[in-house]
Amino acid sequence: MYSRKHFEHTASSIGTLGREELKKRIKGFRGGFRLDFTDDYLDHASVERLRHILMAALITARTRH
């Protein structure tokens, strides 16, 4: 489980990422499960949506250990 400090650090770090870096991290995600988004979806999703996807994936992967 995430500690509050670790959660805040992760959220802050993700908050600074731009679209291309978010897409790169989502497409290259290795967390015990696969994220399967098309390039078209990622290209048209808002940056906030991409941040949400990445943060949710990281939290889910962390809680599965």
Q: pLDDT tens digit string along 28-56?
A: 999 889 999 999 999 999 999 999 999 99
Residue 25 burial by CB count (10 A; 0-12/13-18/19+): exposed, middle or buried? middle
Q: What letter does residue 28 receive in the DSSP assignment? A: T
Residue scoring higher pLDDT (2 or 4): 4
- pLDDT bin (cut points 50, 70, 90) of residue 19 is very high
Closest CA to 25 of 62, 59, 58, 64: 58
Q: Considering the entire predicted model, what is its pTM?
A: 0.87
Give the residue among 49, 26, 48 at the shortest CA–CA distance from 39.
Answer: 26
At residue 13 the predicted structure's pLDDT band, cuts being 50, 70 and 90, is very high
Neighbours of 50 (CB within 10 A): 22
